[in-house]
Structure 1
Amino acid sequence: MVSGDAAMRRVLVFAYPLRWRFVGAGLLAAGTEAAGLGLMAAATWLLATAAGQPPLIALSIAIVLVRALAIGRGVLRYVERLASHDAVLRMVTEVRARIFAALVDRPPARRADALSRMVSDVDAVQDLVIRVLLPMAAAGLVAVAAVGTALLADPATALVLLAGLLVTGVALPLLAARLARHGSARLAPLRAAYAVDTVDLVHGAADLAAFGARPEYEARGAAHADELARVERALARRSFAVDAAATAFGGVTAMAVMITAMSRGLPGVWLAVLAVATLAAGELALSLLAAARKGAEIQGSLRRVAELLGEPATGASGGLALPDGSVHLRLRGAGVRYRADAPPALHDIDLDLPPGRRVAVVGPSGAGKSTLLALLTGAIAPDTGSVVADGTPITAFDRERWPGVVTGLLADAHLFHASVRDNLLLARPGATDGELVAACRTAGLGDWVDTHGLDVRVGEDGAELSGGQRQRLALARAVLADPQVLLLDEPTEGLDPGQADAVLAAVLAHRGDRSVVLVTHRLTGLDAFDEVLVLDGGRVRERGTQGWVRAHGG
């Protein structure tokens, strides 16, 4: 698990190229707050002075200043919004692209969880800048300027103001963050679970109805929604209590400042100015409370995002240069149990995958084949035994250094509502058209691409394609990624036997000396594999070689 500080550092790496834009936005935000504070002080001085009916010429400078600050505050706020959002959207675009590439390299266990990461979790990166860091920086600068100005008027009054701002601007925000952190740690996983429920109900409506499982899934979704609402209501109540305390303490600070100023013999006009300015400065504490609270709420999302972020990509498959054919994967007594009251999905699995080894996994539905692939990708961790890569546990594998080492065509491979080219470029953003077409030919989609081109749109999840075309396009993307260990889950599903054998042979020829793990129900076309594992009930029932395949009708 990435720590909170490490997650923030990893995310803010993407802000560094835009640092001067953010500095400008921060200064504009500070100018906006300073203009608001100055407007309150100047307007108070103008009203208090005008009550004595001095000559109009004595008020002219204050009148112009009030108008300038009123107009300037709105202009500064508008320009600050443009500058900050322009910078943060550039940053978030890069973050989304990196997460997109990471999810292609290492698909998560559930696609709805990926959706949560791509949408709500990545929005936390935007909130970190717009709603946390910039407000804190602006409020801090203005608070320092306010105390410095009060110091010029009277040191004792400045000390009282400083004490009040430390309570409302530091102590209470820290309390708000601590209270929010207790409840907000559950928000991100609850939202992800609710997203999974929604996807299951919408996209699986027909299957759920056919098996009579819709009421169960609706009840689970309603339970997650109720729990999410309960946590949010608890956070709202705590937020209200802290906000009320900050408002009340702001009034107390204003009274203390005024009493101190009176004891120091300051003129009555300046008493009013200091009191109102203190109230205005206290308003900054509310923005700090909101920033601290939001910072605590997004910690979970930032950690989830940071887990998928690494250093900027430079390699062909979206990361640093991969060591050619050197990754050695091993499963030793690996077991997975999804529920304590259910049989294990996998039990005591041993598998050796040195570079270049080809292993086929066969067995009936529910035998544990997809769970085995999830173990290899690191999407799930073994409950017993171990999964290691070159001696390193796969759950702690250095994916920032070797991204895309273990990936491929899994059962939930997703096609986006974009062109064939865009879907393929997810695997290798810098690939040429020739490389894209070559990958399609390897996957048996060459003739179709020659006819329709790379710019034809495939529809939502490949809805504009036939089942076989959709599968081959997803396979072409896996081939283009060229990972060191290619995982294939029924890659030729939807193809006739002859075409399926031809596509599989082409993919294996393309792989050369890189490893392949194939999950399939078919025994034909497996002569090229070094080992065949027969899974049933989560256990390896048989291990075969080429002779075993031929003996069993392959």
Structure 2
Amino acid sequence: MKSMKWLIRLILPFWPRILLAAVLSTLTITSHIGLMATSAYLLSRAALHPPLLDLMVTIVGVRFFGLSRAVFRYLERYLSHDVTFRVLSKIRVKFYQGLEPLAPARLLNFRSGDLLSRIVADVETQQNFYLRVLAPPIVAVFVLLGYGLFLARYDERFSFILAACFLAGGVGIPSVIKILSRGSGQQAVALKAELAALVADTLLGMTELLAYGQAQAHLNKIQNTDRKLKSAQRNILWLSAFSSALTALVANLGLWLILILGILLVEQGKVNGVNLGMLALGSFSSFEAMFPLALVPHHWEQNRAAAERLLECIAAEPAVRDKETNPHKLADTTLILQNVSFRYEQDEPWALKQLSFQVPHRGKVAIVGPSGAGKTSVVNLLLRFWEYAQGDIILGGHSLREYSPEEVRNFIGVVTQRTHIFNATIRENLLMAKPEGTEDELMQAARQAKLHDFILSLPSGYDSYVGEGGFKLSGGQRQRLAIARVLLKNAPILILDEAMAGLDPLTEREVRDEIYQLAEGRTTLMITHSLLGLDKMDEILVLEHGQIVEQGKHAELLKHSDFYRKLWSYLKPPE
């Protein structure tokens, strides 16, 4: 119920539009009732061959209700869909606002395909919440009250029959459908999410699946999930058809009951026979408001399941809690780690243990070591992706905890091994670093990254699309694009996390030279496996098992450090 309360809170601000849409929907059905009732009355009256002038009001009524039904239906659809799309927009914004603080730490708990399914499918499911869950009962109550009062003018028993049919169709049948469905809506939502996750895993991991011979096994999983989803959807369609049949049965039964009662009243002289067809067909038309009620529980279940999946992300506790702080001016960019200890989960070993070092203002420090030594963990802490458990990190004379995560990331420019390139233009990818950047600033950053000439050689220049993940660019061009971003951002602190890994030797040398130029005048922390070019660093820290085992300059470590010499022998570049 918590998820549904959350949805209702999102919808409540739109209550005037919702009320107006409900009124328009009621007027649409009322026009349908009026059209059928006046048509029946017109035929009955015409059969008595009255003067034509006596029929003029009824003829005008038929035309009025025919036209008004179309007008009210258009206005109702326009307004109800406007409300729906506004609510969907609000849900997407709320979902992103809840999701953004979780990146990247807590998002590791979710598969990429599952996240995509939540963002797309689960949000889209909420379009049914107003149209098929909230609106039908409201409209049915309005129609029942309005037409019930009209019928009571002739005989109260007509109103009782109408109310009994609405209760049977709006409460009894949905109860039966709910029992028969047995969680089919929730199952369908879960299977859709699982299928989307499996397909996304296939597209993103096709190379690995083929390399390890798991492509057929993964395809079998997709086919099995697809069969289960088809079975669930087939069950839902069967329930929909069955509910429609039951509702039609109740509607026809109501028609016959009113017709029989009307005949008896006509025989008793209590009702004019001309009105008999009007009462019967008008009542039958009013059951239009009853038909959507049968599947309300099913749609409620689907919406609840999808909302719970959305709320699971939104309500997740971020690794670092953002808080309002006073803006800091960063005149001194000295970074100091004081006895910092950190682990990713309580039951996991320490990734960093009592780690202490300093990166002086505008100094250049490199961290090297084998995989799993804790190098990337240092970067995660400095960017406030994770919270350290013990010790403290000092930036510009203040504890890192005194800065908001967004403020810290504004001070730091990062070039990583896997730079994410969006499926957009080069211009849009560059402006991710500085949305207010001018054209001159963009070109200057591209020139410094030695990317400007290449961009101008493209048919659309800076407006050229680079494809998903930047697949239209080479590895070196992607890294230069990342460098151009950092240059455009003009952050005072630079972190290089395996920025040259995976490049061919020639491209690596070119990118390394550009990165060293980028580091001039900035406080720089380099995380690397490659030991080439580390002679330009002010200090080198050798990490193993989350602790500094050796530190010093490149030449000193080669001369006095057995561990660093061993790393050099394994990792040194070819002559």
Q: Same fold (TM over 0.5)?
A: yes
Once residues 378 and 160 of structure 1 are traced to their aligned partners in structure 2, the CA distance between those partners, rounded to angstroms, is: 66
Once residues 210 and 417 of structure 2 are traced to their aligned partners in structure 1, the CA distance between those partners, rounded to angstroms, is: 22
- What pairs with 1:349-388 in structure 2 (closer than 5 Å)? 349=350, 363-364=370-371
Once residues 190 and 485 of structure 2 are traced to their aligned partners in structure 1, the CA distance between those partners, rounded to angstroms, is: 30
1:170–1:244 distance in 2 versus 1, CA, 3 Å: same
Report deviation, 1:32.
1.8
Whichever residue aligns with residue 458 of structure 1, its letter is: V
Which of 306, 309, 322 is 1:304 aligned to? 309
Once residues 169 and 225 of structure 2 are traced to their aligned partners in structure 1, the CA distance between those partners, rounded to angstroms, is: 35
Whichever residue aligns with residue 253 of structure 2, its letter is: V
The aligned counterpart of 1:433 is 437
Which of 254, 276, 294 is 1:289 aligned to? 294
The aligned counterpart of 1:192 is 193
1:90–1:446 distance in 2 versus 1, CA, 3 Å: farther
Report deviation, 1:67.
1.9
Whichever residue aligns with residue 61 of structure 2, its letter is: L
Residue 165 in 1 paired to residue 166 in 2? yes
1:208-241 deviation per Cα after TM superposition (whole angstroms, max 9, x unaligned): 3343222111111111111111111222233333
Report deviation, 1:35.
1.5
Whichever residue aligns with residue 28 of structure 1, its letter is: L
Residue 212 in 1 paired to residue 213 in 2? yes
1:22–1:186 distance in 2 versus 1, CA, 3 Å: same
The aligned counterpart of 1:58 is 54
Q: Is the CA contact 2:251–2:284 (under 8 Å) kept in the aligned structure 1?
A: yes
Report deviation, 1:322.
5.9
Largest Rg, 1 or 2: 2
Q: Is the CA contact 2:42–2:59 (under 8 Å) kept in the aligned structure 1?
A: yes
1:141–1:364 distance in 2 versus 1, CA, 3 Å: same
Once residues 443 and 519 of structure 2 are traced to their aligned partners in structure 1, the CA distance between those partners, rounded to angstroms, is: 9
1:236-278 deviation per Cα after TM superposition (whole angstroms, max 9, x unaligned): 2333333332222222333333444455543334343333223
- What pairs with 1:40-79 in structure 2 (closer than 5 Å)? 40-79=36-75
- What pairs with 1:234-383 in structure 2 (closer than 5 Å)? 234-262=235-263, 265-307=270-312, 321=324, 334=345, 347-349=348-350, 363-364=370-371
Once residues 47 and 355 of structure 1 are traced to their aligned partners in structure 2, the CA distance between those partners, rounded to angstroms, is: 95
Report deviation, 1:165.
1.1
1:155–1:355 distance in 2 versus 1, CA, 3 Å: farther
Report deviation, 1:182.
0.8
Whichever residue aligns with residue 39 of structure 1, its letter is: L
Residue 4 in 1 paired to residue 16 in 2? no
1:26–1:333 distance in 2 versus 1, CA, 3 Å: closer
Once residues 487 and 74 of structure 2 are traced to their aligned partners in structure 1, the CA distance between those partners, rounded to angstroms, is: 48
Q: What's the Cα RMSD here?
A: 5.2
Once residues 288 and 545 of structure 1 are traced to their aligned partners in structure 2, the CA distance between those partners, rounded to angstroms, is: 71
Tell me, which stretches of 5 or more residues in structure 2 are unaligned? 316-321, 329-337, 360-365, 391-403, 569-575
The aligned counterpart of 1:84 is 80
Report deviation, 1:185.
1.6
SS at 2:222 equivalent: helix
State which drifts further: 449-458 or 255-264.
Answer: 449-458
Which of 441, 464, 467 is 1:459 aligned to? 467
Q: Is the CA contact 1:250–1:279 (under 8 Å) kept in the aligned structure 2?
A: yes
Once residues 125 and 478 of structure 1 are traced to their aligned partners in structure 2, the CA distance between those partners, rounded to angstroms, is: 39
Once residues 116 and 166 of structure 1 are traced to their aligned partners in structure 2, the CA distance between those partners, rounded to angstroms, is: 37
SS at 1:255 equivalent: helix
Whichever residue aligns with residue 6 of structure 2, its letter is: A
Q: Is the CA contact 2:122–2:309 (under 8 Å) kept in the aligned structure 1?
A: yes
SS at 1:59 equivalent: helix
Q: Is the CA contact 1:529–1:545 (under 8 Å) kept in the aligned structure 2?
A: no
Once residues 179 and 529 of structure 1 are traced to their aligned partners in structure 2, the CA distance between those partners, rounded to angstroms, is: 71
Report deviation, 1:157.
2.1
User: Percent sequence identity over matched residues?
Assistant: 26
1:308–1:489 distance in 2 versus 1, CA, 3 Å: farther
TM score, norm. by length of structure 2: 0.67
Q: How many pairs does the alignment contain? A: 499
Tell me, which stretches of 5 or more residues in structure 1 are unaligned? 311-318, 337-346, 380-386, 392-401, 535-540
SS at 2:299 equivalent: helix
1:509–1:119 distance in 2 versus 1, CA, 3 Å: farther
The aligned counterpart of 1:395 is none
The aligned counterpart of 2:127 is 126
1:155-179 deviation per Cα after TM superposition (whole angstroms, max 9, x unaligned): 2321231232123123433554565
Report deviation, 1:8.
0.8
SS at 2:271 equivalent: coil
The aligned counterpart of 1:544 is 548
Whichever residue aligns with residue 496 of structure 1, its letter is: E
